Amino acid sequence: MIIMGHSPQIQISSILFGMKGQYDMCITSANISQTRTIVPRLDYSSSLISDVIRVLKKKRNELKKSNKTLVVETEDEEQTCYKSIDVERTVSFCLEGLCCIQKRMNSASRIDLIPKVFPSMVPMIRTISAQLVEISPESSRKLSELSVHLGSIVLDSASITKAHFDFSQSNVESSTLLDEVKLMVDSKISKQYPHLDFLSSFGN
């Protein structure tokens, strides 16, 4: 369970996520210098995840197009399709997971929400990064960097707001969210390629 608390010396205003992905933060406290370092890291983190999402959207579109052609050309040789479709499924899983993370990042409208919303993102991002090592090495590298930035933001925001959080609970939340994303993506892939026994062939 996450327990939130505030020091009486701290006055917190909103962190606003603007149209250009910019965060604004105004806090009057002894931690003002530490607070100022959070803002550029939030901006940079927003830029990183947007870059990776843009790359994966393009990659997914390319895979959907090529796989559609492949399925028609190899109608009687289903096994030749499975590997390519599995790559599409992996990219879709990573993309949907990152879109979920981006929405959660944008939902943290106040600094006191960061220790509550952000911790589960870190293991999610690490999992997604590992999935992309071979498919998109540069995206994987950027996500590894993103996980480091978000981890430091969580620790600093918790220090400023005197918040406490449970890393084990964050891991559980991360797994639950990723399981939901996987079920959604598997359903879409099954509908996209209804004549292929795709999920049974790969088993997960």
Q: Is residue 25 part of a domain?
A: no
Residues of the chain with pLDDT > 70: what percent?
75
Record the tokens describing residue 33, joined without a space.
């210098």
Q: Which amino acid is at 74?
A: T
Q: Is the pLDDT of residue 17 over 50?
A: no
Q: Is the pLDDT of residue 183 over 70?
A: yes
* pLDDT recorded at residue 45: 95
Q: How far apart are the first and last CA of the chain?
A: 30
Task: Note every long-range contact of 132-138, with CB atoms under 8 Å and residues 24 or more positions apart, other chains counting.
Answer: 132/90, 132/94, 135/59, 135/87, 135/90, 135/91, 136/55, 136/56, 136/59, 136/91, 138/55
Record the tokens describing residue 16, joined without a space.
């606003």
Highest average pLDDT, of 69-73, 95-99, 192-196, comes from 95-99
Number of domains in the chain: 1
Q: Is residue 200 part of a domain?
A: no
Q: Is residue 126 part of a domain?
A: yes
Distance CA(109)–CA(105), nearest Å, equals: 9
Question: Tens digits of per-residue pLDDT, 100-139?
Answer: 999 999 988 788 889 989 999 999 999 999 999 999 999 9
Q: What per-residue string of b and e applies to 66-98 under the rule 16 or more CB within 10 Å gives b?
A: ebeebbeeeeeebeebbeebebbbbbbbbbbbb
CATH number for the domain harbouring residue 138:
1.20.1260
Question: Tens digits of per-residue pLDDT, 62-84?
Answer: 999 998 888 776 655 556 678 88
Q: Is the pLDDT of residue 23 over 80?
A: no
Q: Which amino acid is at 127?
A: T
Per-residue pLDDT, averaged over 2-20, amounts to 35
Q: Is residue 14 part of a domain?
A: no
Question: pTM above 0.85?
Answer: no
Q: Is residue 18 part of a domain?
A: no
Task: Tell me the pLDDT of the chain averaged across its residues.
Answer: 80
Q: Is residue 128 part of a domain?
A: yes
Q: Is residue 8 part of a domain?
A: no
Which range of residues forms the domain containing residue 63?
Answer: 31-188
Q: Is residue 2 part of a domain?
A: no
